[in-house]
Chain A
Amino acid sequence: MAETPHPLLEAVWSRNSRLVLTFLVLAALFTWVGGIWDVSRLDSVHSELSAEKRVEAVTLIQAELDNLYADLRSRASKIARQEEVVDGFRRLEENQSGREELVQIAASLRLDARQFVEFYDPTPTLTAWNGAVFPMDSAVQDERFLGQVQESLVLDGPSRTAVIVWVPVRDGTSVLGVIRLGQMVESKMPLKNDYLRDYTWDEEWSRRLGRTVEFTFGETVRTSVEGDYLIRSPLDFPVGSVSITDADLAAWRTIKKARYADVLAFWLFMLIFYVVVRSTSILWRYAPVGGASRVAKGTVSGYLGILLISRWILLIAHIPSRWQTGKAPLAPLFDPQHLASVFGFGSLRTIGDLFITALAISLGALMILRLSAPLRERIQSILGYTNSQVSLRVVSSIVLHQIVVLFLAGILFQIAQHAVLDSTLALFARSGLLPEQLVIVVFGALLLLVFSVILLAGRSLWLVTEAFRVQFDVLPSKKSLLLVVGTTAAVITALIAFVEPVGILLPAEIFIIVVSVTYVTAFIGPIQPTRRSPIVVLRRIVPMVIVTSMVLFPMLEMSSNRKVEMRMQDAAESFLEDRDSRVMFAISQVLGDARSDEFGDNLELVPADEGFARRSQLDSLVESVTKGSPLSALATYDVTITLFDDGGSVQGRYSNLNRRLPRAMQDVADESEFGLFTAMYDDFGNSGSMIEKLTGSKDQNRFRYAGFQLLRGDGFILVLAEQRALAGSAASPFPKVLSPGGYYGERYSDLSVAEFRDGVLVRTEGKNFGRTIMDRNVTVRLRGETELWTLESVRDREYQTYYRVEESLEQNAGIGVTAVRRRTTNVFDQLYHLLRIVVAGLFLAMPFYFGGLFFRLRNPSLQPDVRQFRDKVLNAFFSVGIITVVAMGFVGLGVVTEENEQAIESWLRQHLERVEQTLDLETRGEELPYRVLDRISVDSLAARVGLDLNVYHNLEVEQASRPELIRDRLIERRLPIEAYEALYFKGFRFITVEEKLGTFAYKAGYLALTDERGIPHYVVSIPTLPEQERIEEERARTVAYLFGALLLLVLVVMVTASLLANALTRPIAQLRAGLKAVAAGHFERISKVDTGDEIADLVDSFNTMQDQIEESRNLLGQQERQMAWREMARQVAHEIKNPLTPMKLSIQHLRTAFNRRSEDGSDDDKFSRKFSQTTTTLIEQIDTLARIANEFSSFGRMPKHIREEVNLNDVIAEAVELMQAEDNVIIEMELHPKTLIVSGDREAVRRVYVNFLKNAIQAVPDDRIAEISVSTNLETDVRGVSWVLGRVSDNGSGIPRNLWEKIFVPSFSTKTSGTGLGLAIARRTIESMDGEIGFDTELNSGTTFWIKVPLSVTETRSEGHSGSESDSKASKEPESGADLPAGSRPN
């Protein structure tokens, strides 16, 4: 006999599947062959294709340029047509008063990124502006300027380029002004960091086209160069040229092959996708039918195998990461720079891979959960057992289960740890409530894994007990079970804690958390959906997310701490030998300035004599290069800058040393080093800037940095920065935003590092080492150790410190200890970290929630039958709690932001007041402060107030303490329009304006120094760059703590809501149960509620009411019984009275006849007839009395039915035969051909049918031919139960509507001779058979009485029904039962 294929395999390998798979394989084959052919023909078409692609690219670029100009033209025209703008220009033309209006309009314009706008009058003089400042372009020289729209281009030095559109503002035909709208196409930053990035079309288009694209903007168009294409504006303005580099043949081949490989990968992906989706859907549908026992273990393993193989194929084929390159939207997900781990054999290769792996694992876990659901239901009952014996099997299964949990938790922890250690993402950065997108994906993937592991670990308990064949009816009691579970967990925890390799793989705390949650899941099963409460509702999702997050949180926290500790160890190692990137950068800045034309020109301007004046001028010149440089901010370094001539003689010098050598001695010392640096410079290549780290001149344990380079013309410049003997913790005011990436490297970002020699602090970086000597306790503990980790409390602040004893390089150098310190996180930090995970979890859960909501709304059948009061209360509490928390969050955030704004504004105001006070001190006589600025330099003023300053005059920057910021276009040279409006038109003396440096937003304060007429002569501004960073950090911390506190509040609200809901609903549930019991006829008191409130009163009242009802019921029963007896007596009397009257009359007639015969001797025959007639009547009436007595007796005596299996057809046939014989009518029979075995009293059933038939015969009027029919049928209801339907129909007069209700009421009868008990007895009989009785009637047409009784079980099986457990029980009974004669089968 051939083996039947497994239904799952059969479904997977169906005809449709074969068609789809064939199509995909053919598509892959065609792609492969097509690719080979296409690549092979490249040799011949390469050059042609290259040219074609070039032209396509240039066309695309030109089209985008046209669109850009068109957009600018449209926007500028819209501005020029604005009524307010025209009006402003009109008024400006008339009396100058329109300027303010135009400034207001310009300030209110919302421009796109990199756009700027300027309003000019026809002269053209600038009136108002907004955005970046660019020089005038050539359009103004065009003779058609003001006549029509002009298109142009402007270059702002080498760093910025913008396309420009000029649109005249007209009033009728006259031109009132002109709008200049521009958009940057190139913006190069002097340095790059998180905030400052270059934006160039070169990069933009190179990325888009996948080849090198170079633009040359301006008039120097290289039209003669082959491969260059001219690009023009729509009005034919020459914008520049574009050069597109072709890939060579080999590269083309590689690109082509890669493209075909991508398509092939697509077909492969579709194949995998189809197989996974198909097998999942089949198994998912198959599971509830078959259950765990029906689905072969091989099938489950096969499915998990499909998932595993599919995942690996995707990994090997780099799907989908191969399609996500360049600017593809999901590209960052597959960029190893964010996260990449070799752990997991590549399944965690990138963030995207981690997420896909998590999805695959979740799918597998859900499938296992679904397939093993019946097992869980079966085992749930064990909690009810009270057997105190603990069998070996139970212990073994629990031990094995906890080993499984240990294994799963270990893998989970390792994945979480690698996701942190192998990541460059700041998972817990204080960046607000929402983590950045990539962090959300990482958290989401890890939460999915945690969720899957919890489910699997919970379910594995049942699988293990099944595997150990634990007998559930001899399971130990709950207490014994808990004891075994607790002991096993304690032993494993101890093992983890004391066996180091295991502890490294999985910390004991994590095991305890996972195992606890596992048992809760295994026993309570919080994610089991029920009919009353679907799973995808917020009140279930939110707690699930929170619990999952709370399991993940300690893993991430531990891993983050591990990462920080590694960083601390690394920082300690590198601190001794490291190059200080701040110094390197500062020196490179100074050397850069010394290379500039400005410095060269100034150097040449210094007279070439040997006098003091030359030396003084050169000293000043050297000092000038430190202005605005981070070098001047290096408080922990001695800085010397020296100019040498070619022969090594010192020409000029700057030094920040407090105690200097006499100049002549210093010159000699410097000249002696000149030889060393020129020799090194020779090695370096004698060109460019050489920056080196050298051993310190005074102390070999400290370093010095040297920058050396050739000057334009003759001579050299040497910059030396040497660490001071004891570094203070003076923080550099140099802002992070103006430092290149890595300047404030990740290594020390939140760490403080210090070096101690013989217990004395010799240098430090960061703010956390305030003491100049090492803690004595630490010194003691370090004896004989090479390193030490401590938790220290310094001035109420908690720190973690790592001490490392260094091997001294020098003899007699003393014991060196390097210490690295960081502030430990507090509880609010941790809550904030948890909050970030929860938020990511909610992001992940929301699609499921909305999907569930959608399906529930689409399918009303999925709506719960009953909405539980507890859920309603919980929802209400949740809603109120969440709304409160959100409101508090918003208010709190608003307050923090407001406080922050005020702090910055206050800081700016105070410092600008200091500037003003400083100027006041310098005033002479009645002189106004602005006059002082004519005499002193901004550097001097900036040095006095210790701030960076810009001084504006006539709207442009006149002086700046950091001129390079203006030069590099990091700060615009023109006054911001908001400041202009406030200070010049609205009369404010002080204003703060929000500005941007790249993407870094900061505030700048502007102070107007007015002249004698009250008009601003100078405007002094202070940018808050360093202060802003500090305040932003504070704000971030406050916001983080606020959110952390809010999460705590959410947790409290949820727990309180849950407790309150339970407290409220428990007595109500008790009341409900009590009411249900009342409905069922049970009058039981419910448990007393000791809350002492209204609910307790209600419960008491209910119990009192219960007592009263029970009393009333007893009384009522007594009365009912009395009533029944009375009624019975009345009925009996009535029924007996009826025949007594004719009997009395008959006897009177008989007596009269007898007397008459005696008196007149009349005919004896007549008397005989009368006697006979009367006695007949008397006998009939006595029979009637006997019958009445019998029937009352029958009704009063509850029939004791003897249940037996009766063939209904046989009983009906007997009744029909009887009635046909008695009443001489033809009764038609349509009986079901099969034997219909029902369970009931044979005699009683026969009486039912006799009653039906008698009623039917009597219901037919005399003028009709009786048509009586009897039928039986078989039907099966939705639950699979078979019923016998028996009908007795007549063509009688039918039953009037008003009698329907009384038909089955005892004593009701339409017949004068009936007792009215027949149908009442029939109903009792049928109901005793668990059946139903009823009738259908139509006036003057007839009536059908029907019964519906269940077919006996034996008979059901014999008809071949199958599929339920009862079937299997039934199959043990003799199969032939149905064919046995009725009544012959055993009971």
Chain B
Amino acid sequence: MNRFASIVLAVTLLLGPGNSVQAQSREQVISEIRASIMSADAVGLARQTVSSVEIALFGEGRFYSRGQATLLLKEFFGDFPPDDFKIINFTQTPSAWFLEGAYQTKASKSPIPIFMRLRNSRGVWKIRELLIEEADG
């Protein structure tokens, strides 16, 4: 294979998957979010947010860039390492999903409520709002 063909192949492999939008199933999206949270994968979770995501960490919500959200979530996972995460409520409208989850940490008895709102933008579901609230008790 000559060099030109190698470059074409490499570019195709790099760009190809990014250019096509696969239809996402609800289970698939939720499963990916859950997996990111369970493995404290801030980078993975941030990858599933819109470019400017609203995050509220035990207080007032603000809009963060994806990069900023990564570091913010990393800090959250560092302070509250995950033990379990369950989706306890799910509702949907044509263009939005609402998730309510219970985030169980190793240190706390009560789970931390996490609310997420996902937006469908041209076929892709992304987290637009992530609210992390104080655990009861």
Contacts and interface: CB of A to CB of B under 8 A. Distances in A.
Interface of A: 192-193, 250-251, 336-337, 339-343, 349-350, 418, 421-424, 566-567, 570, 573-574, 576-577, 693, 695, 741-742, 745-747, 809
Given A337-B57, A570-B50, A577-B119, A746 B67 contact: no
Given A337-B57, A422-B65, 14 more contacts: A336-B71, A336-B72, A340-B67, A341-B67, A341-B68, A349-B71, A350-B71, A422-B67, A566-B52, A567-B52, A574-B128, A577-B95, A741-B59, A742-B56
B19 interface: no
Nearest to B56: A742
B61 to A, nearest CB: 5
Contact of B60 (A336, A418, A742): A742
Interface in B37-86: 50-52, 54, 56-57, 59-65, 67-68, 70-72, 75
Given A337-B57, A573-B121, A343 B96 contact: no
Contacts of B52: 566-567, 570
Contacts of A341: 65, 67-68, 71
Contacts of A250: 107
A746 B72 contact: no
A566 B64 CA distance: 12
B94 interface: yes
B25 interface: no
Contacts of B22: none
Interface string B97-120: 000000000010000000000010
B62 A424 contact: yes
Contact of A577 (B64, B67, B75, B93): B93
Contacts of A337: 57, 62, 72
Contacts of B107: 250-251
Interface residues of B, number: 27
B68 A573 contact: no
A742 B63 CA distance: 10
21 contacts: A192-B59, A193-B60, A336-B75, A337-B57, A340-B72, A341-B65, A341-B68, A341-B71, A418-B67, A422-B65, A422-B67, A422-B68, A423-B68, A566-B52, A570-B52, A574-B128, A577-B93, A695-B93, A742-B61, A745-B54, A809-B94
Given A566-B52, A573-B119, A574-B128, A339 B60 contact: no
B71 A340 contact: yes
B12 to A, nearest CB: 17
A692 B86 CA distance: 22
A336 B66 CA distance: 12
A747 B54 CA distance: 10
Contacts of A741: 59-61
Contacts of B65: 341, 421-423
A192 B58 CA distance: 12
A573 B119 CA distance: 9
A423 B96 CA distance: 26
Contacts of A746: 62-63
Nearest to A348: B67
A500 to B, nearest CB: 14
Contacts, number: 75
B64 A574 contact: no
Given A570-B50, A570-B52, A574-B119, A342 B59 contact: no
A210 to B, nearest CB: 13
B59 to A, nearest CB: 7
A317 to B, nearest CB: 14
A342 B71 contact: yes
B50 A340 contact: no
Q: Which 4 A-B pairs have the closest CB atoms?
A: A741-B60, A340-B71, A577-B95, A342-B67
A343 B67 contact: yes
A693 B93 contact: yes
Contacts of B57: 337
A424 B67 contact: no
Interface string B115-131: 00001010000001000
Nearest to A807: B122
A350 B75 CA distance: 12
Given A566-B52, A747-B63, A336 B68 contact: yes
Contacts of B64: 340, 422, 424
A341 B93 CA distance: 33
A723 to B, nearest CB: 15
Contacts of A695: 93
Contact of A576 (B68, B72, B95): B95
A1104 B60 CA distance: 81
Contacts of A570: 50-52
Listed residue (A339, A343, A566, A574) with the most chain B CB atoms within 10 angstroms of its CB: A574
A423 B52 CA distance: 11
A741 B58 CA distance: 13
Contacts of B61: 741-742, 745
B60 to A, nearest CB: 4
Contact of A192 (B60, B62, B70, B121): B60
B63 to A, nearest CB: 5
Contacts of B96: 577
Nearest to A339: B68
B75 to A, nearest CB: 6
Contacts of B59: 192, 741
Residue from A339, A423, A570, A741 whose CB has the most chain B CB atoms within 10 Å:
A570
Nearest to A346: B71
Contacts of B67: 340-343, 418, 421-422
Contacts of A342: 67, 70-71
A78 B72 CA distance: 50
A418 B64 CA distance: 12
B40 to A, nearest CB: 16
Nearest to A247: B107
Nearest to A694: B93
A576 B56 CA distance: 22
B52 to A, nearest CB: 5
Contacts of A566: 51-52
A424 B68 CA distance: 9
A349 B74 CA distance: 11
Nearest to B60: A741
A421 B67 CA distance: 9
Nearest to A693: B93
Contacts of A574: 119, 128
A1098 to B, nearest CB: 64
A336 to B, nearest CB: 4
A741 B63 CA distance: 12
A340 B70 CA distance: 9
A570 B62 CA distance: 14
Contacts of A418: 67
A567 B64 CA distance: 11
A214 B39 CA distance: 34
A497 B72 CA distance: 35
Interface in B3-31: none
Contacts of B70: 340, 342
Nearest to B94: A809
B126 to A, nearest CB: 10
A1216 B76 CA distance: 98
